[in-house]
Structure 1
């Protein structure tokens, strides 16, 4: 059980438990926990809002016709006439899925299947990869393929146990002071498992008045909110001040993990720090009510995340080149050369600094 930040009144929080709780540690009804095992509808929505056609996208896995022993499945899309294959992912995708290969044999099967399905393929690009997946692929010997890895983002996480004791005193004091001010001015918080029209409208009102650029695919977010409502993963929080929504957040809870997915704060009310207070309320909710064991800030290395989280791990991109294709072989060789030159320059600078 978490300990709340000391001192100050607690904002009134209305927990709208529209759906019954599924057991802690259990997955939703479709047997896919979001967003770490993103179900097929996630990718269907993502493909549509990325402007992909059905002929460009497909699911590749061991459960293709004729093979019933499925252990992995990836959403992919092809471009350049089948010469380039990419994981169906972007800034909305915190993991490779729906279910990434877990064993060396699965990864080998992936490259073998891609090579047979698209004989003219030159490059396969996969992201985001965890550090464990990247290390596993680095150790893998795949005949006819050359691998090039690069850093693409970062992932911050924290343990839920004794969460508040691990936070900096400055953050706890800020939460206490800002909460007191908001309580005095009549603020309250809604936390809902259902994306009601009122709360969705409140989310977009806050977003439009936030520091963030225009949402590239609002329809995808609306579809995600609806999907998460139906599989019980959604925790949609809105902080209201005198009848106006001033902070809104979308969290996804599944399999003992709470993911902080989308945040927005009305800049007009920055002096209240409503987003900070709402984050604290949602943290209390997922730890006390949902009994999660992990808090996940997903992708991005924003500096403020270090105050809220304990551990940062890098995420990677893999560019795999088919070495029997002359154009792919040349691209791979150039990438390796550029990487070597960059390493040499870094060593020269490091030596110069020591003198």
Structure 2
């Protein structure tokens, strides 16, 4: 049956069948879902950015493949010349803990991906560079996409992006999970839990969207403002994500209360049997109370014993505390695909090849 490539300027125009395909995706998880992309498009695009959802379907409408990108207003001097580089990027940024093309699990998977990338190459013929980040390098789709890009005429270079700490928990209960933690963490948790419980009105609550969601958002934002963290560069993103996640059943918003004061918050996302610790913050007033430790344990117990997840991960980065909570590590990598049919793209490709040659010669 014929495969048809189409590109949509925005998530709302996608045929509804693609929503189901995205919900079932394993490589990208929640970060490849329709709620995630809708919130991203609504809150995270910069001036001049244009969203593009490249798709492949059979002639009968059966969805086969999707890749979300954004066309970026050319900036910078990435070639070493005084000219603007026309860029396209995957629909991801520093909020995205994973990114991948979405593929149906069919016998013609490779052909669908090839059709998708070839159609995208033609659509992006006026772009010098396509950059895809936050991709799970261990997933088969990474190497498959890299090969498809080369077959479509791109010169590609892979690069490390960030580490992702995780742990498989489907084989244990909460007590078993905690037994695998370092003794110093277990001792800190016991000590800080007693201290927290001694406060009048001490409470740990998890909002999943069934309660007063707007009050929970207000509590989250109040703690964030009083935390050590810089203001969000996209101020509407997190509240929008909380609302979308609640509607999709993915929200777990934990709050540690001291009396009437929200003192610490954590935003977890639960999707397809996985839980991601996505955002956390605490009020600086409670810095010495280690409320983050108490709240993390409470959220982990809920994820393991109530949500029955098979895996918990700690999002982006190799912060030292993450390995105390989760004992396995994997990596997210990116692919830079240079369009050798354009002068700036060819310059980028030649520079990438030169860097790769230097690395090989130096043994790195």
- TM category (shorter chain) comes to 0.7 to 0.9
Matched, 1:159 2:168: yes
Q: Secondary structure at the match of 1:89?
A: coil
Identify the match of residue 49 of structure 1 among 33, 40, 43: 43
Counterpart selection for 1:190 from 205, 227, 232: 205
- Which of 285, 292, 307 is equivalent to 2:302? 285
Partner of 1:25: none
Give, in angstroms, the shift of residue 322 of structure 1.
Answer: 2.0
Aligned-residue CA RMSD (Å): 2.8
**Which residue matches 1:91?**
94
* Most deviating of 263-272 and 131-140: 131-140
Alignment partner of 2:194 out of 173, 176, 180: 180
What is the CA–CA distance in structure 2 between the aligned matches of 1:211 and 1:137, rounded to whole Å? 39
1:7 corresponding residue in structure 2:
none
Matched, 1:308 2:325: yes
Tell me the alpha carbon deviations over residues 109-134 of structure 1, each in whole angstroms, 9 at most, x when there is no partner.
23201122233332221121111243
Deviations 1:54-86 (A, max 9, x none): 98112111139x572322212211135894221
Aligned to 1:38: 32
Distance 1:265 1:328 in 2: 45
SS in 1 for 2:23: coil
- Tell me, yes or no, if the aligned pair for 1:35 and 1:252 is still in contact at 8 Å: no
Highest relative contact order (Cα 8 Å, sep 6+), 1 or 2? 1
Aligned-partner Cα distance in 2 for 1:345–1:95: 31
Structure 1 stretch displaced more, 236-245 or 135-144: 135-144
8 A contact 2:65–2:116 mirrored in 1 = no
Task: Give the equivalent residue in structure 1 for 2:354.
Answer: 337
Aligned to 2:122: 116
Runs (5+) with no aligned partner, structure 1: 1-27, 348-355
Structure 1 pair 30–110 and aligned structure 2 pair: CA distance change class (3 A): closer
Cα distance in 1, alignment partners of residues 297 and 90 from structure 2: 34
What are the superposed Cα offsets for residues 80-117 of structure 1, whole Å, 9 maximum, x if unpaired?
Answer: 58942211111122222572587433332232011222
In the alignment, the residues of structure 2 paired with residue 293 and residue 83 of structure 1 have an alpha-carbon distance, to the nearest angstrom, of 42
Distance 1:305 1:180 in 2: 23
Q: Which residue of 2 aligns with 1:9?
A: none
| Residue among 60, 68, 82 paired with 2:54 | 60
Q: 2:183: which partner in 1?
A: 169
Distance 1:107 1:127, change over 3 A: farther
Is the 8 Å Cα contact of residues 189 and 237 (structure 1) preserved in structure 2? yes
User: Residue 69 of structure 2 is aligned with which of 65, 73, 76?
Assistant: 76
| 8 Å contact kept, 2:118–2:152 | no
Residue in structure 2 matching 1:237, options 247, 254, 272: 254
Q: Could you say if the C-alpha distance between residues 106 and 153 of structure 1 is closer, same or farther in structure 2, counting changes exceeding 3 Å?
A: farther
Give the 5 Å matches for 1:202-351. Answer: 202-342=219-359, 344=361
**Aligned positions, number:** 319
2 CA distance for matches of 1:101 and 1:299? 26
TM-score normalised to structure 1 length: 0.81
Shift of 1:204: 0.9
* 5+ residue gaps, structure 2: 1-18, 75-84
Q: Residues 258, 67 of structure 1: CA spacing in aligned structure 2 closer, same or farther, 3 A cutoff?
A: same
> Within 1, Cα distance between the matches of 2:277 and 2:166?
10
CA distance in 2, matches of 1:67, 1:29: 16
